[in-house]
Amino acid sequence: MSHSNYINGQWQEPISGDYKNNVSPHDSQEIEEFPVSTEADVQKAISSANKAFPSWKKLSYQQRGTYLLKAAEILEENTEEIGRDLTLEEGKTLTEGIGETRRAINILKYYAGEAMQPIGSVIPSANSETTVYTKRTPLGPVGLITPWNFPIAIPAWKMAPALIYGNTVVIKPADLTPKCVYHLMNAFHEAGLPAGVVNCVFGRGSVVGNELVENRGIKGISFTGSNSVGRAIQSKAMANGKKVQLEMGGKNPLVILADAGIDNAVELAIKGAYQSTGQKCTATSRVIVEEEIYESFRDRLIERTQSLKVGNPLVDDSFMGPCVSQSQYETVLRMIDQGKNEGNLLCGGESIKTSELENGYYIQPTIFELSSQNARIATEEIFGPVIALLKAADYQEAVQMANDTEFGLSASICTNNLSRAQQFIDQIEVGMVHVNSETAGAEPQIPFGGMKNSSDGPREQGKTAIDFYTQVKTVYYDQHR
């Protein structure tokens, strides 16, 4: 089956007539065809978004919110189908695929609710006859470039605030997982969103993404993906006068103190590192354990890791599915090979090629014991099911090790010591801190983003999303003149 771009309220074939199949990571089978778009397709979409902007901007917040609620209802009616399609093309378990679909629905509902919230403030003036207040104005048409690892949740969490605050949208989804964004666009289409308010152009980032970044008809770029691509986008976009929001990599630590319950700490590490095959920017990739319980924790972690079920979740209820693509699979295996030269392989470390899984991109959950954080697998984002396990002499060394990274997205501490937990919250250099919970996880109403080289620009999600998608206008209103 062939799908089309969504431009100006219509499904339109790409100008080139070229299509590409997305491929299932479970068995390498082709699924459906999606456009290989050109700059001309993007230009049509940007023109459409610009034409739609003035009338969309004039609608009240509540009017815009009704479209988000209707789209959420349509997604809700098709949750099982969408979740299965997500699992088919991305590789998550079916439970995770359905869960992510529900998350996208909740995001739309949350931002529909933001239509009833304050959007400015009144500020006292030194002049008794002057009223000063602020209001928010939308940027205009915005370009959204989204990744494959949360193929419906991240597009939703970028599109929903963009729309409720009065912007129009051109989105370029990841070419590995196009079907999920197709479902999202179809929900907006069926909800009756005015033509041109949302536009979707499928294709390569080097073509579609580049045109979004360089075309002056786009006023802001929100990007989630790798650091190298993000920084290149930032440089080009800012040179063209665009507002930029970047969400990039992480090397997230889970710090486990000696007073922690070992079984609970192990479960936090397992969930954080291996769910979604470790393909989360917030995944636990470093586990730093105080030496008093290090050996007990290590042995239990190995035991639990070896007990995990890896397989095709479309066939059985596996805990962990495949890597998203052959390229990602090969990247993870290269990093594992690097790790074998840098540390002690405790378990895993190989691809899985059984008769049932021989054509998929499956890798064993893997643990490396490291004596130094200078190892590549302790410093570089792997985006796969790999734990770098490290020992710390005490709390102070554990925090120093946790902060010794270019990234600062998420971190967690496992402890029953309230004072240590508060110290960690204050001392850890990340945008999101967890106490006795895994490093992964995000809720629609809560700001999402990191420090250092993990993020740039205003935070995503929650009430802080307004800071990227709007500009502040200050009004001085004199009563008499």
Task: Show the CA angle centred on residue 283, arms to residues 282 and 285, nearest 5°.
Answer: 120
User: Would you call 247 a catalytic residue per the annotation?
Assistant: yes
What is the SS3 string spanning 132-180? EEEEEEECCEEEEECCCCCCCHHHHHHHHHHHHCCCEEEEECCCCCHHH
Residue 152 near residue 100 (C-beta atoms within 8 A)? yes
Backbone angles phi, psi at 454, to 5 degrees: -90, -30
Residue 46 near residue 215 (C-beta atoms within 8 A)? yes
How many residues does this entry show for the chain? Answer: 481
Q: How many helices (H) and strands (E) does the chain have?
A: 15, 22
Backbone angles phi, psi at 252, to 5 degrees: -80, 130
Q: Which member of 89, 96, 247, 290 is catalytic? A: 247
Query: What is the distance between the alpha carbons of residues 234 and 455, in angstroms, rounded to a whole number?
Result: 11
Query: What is the distance between the alpha carbons of residues 398 and 394, in angstroms, rounded to a whole number?
Result: 6
Q: List, edge to edge, every strand of the sheet that includes 252-256.
A: 344-347, 366-369, 386-392, 284-290, 252-256, 410-414, 432-435
Task: Look at the block and give the residue holding tokens 């479970």.
Answer: 26
Q: Which of 107, 106, 96 is nearest to 324 (CA)?
A: 96
Q: Which of 60, 180, 187, 61 is nearest to 112 (CA)?
A: 61
Query: What is the distance between the alpha carbons of residues 216 and 413, in angstroms, rounded to a whole number?
Result: 45
> For the residues of 74-102, what is the DSSP string, one character each?
HHHHTHHHHHHHHHHHH---HHHHHHHHH
User: Which residues are tagged catalytic?
Assistant: 247
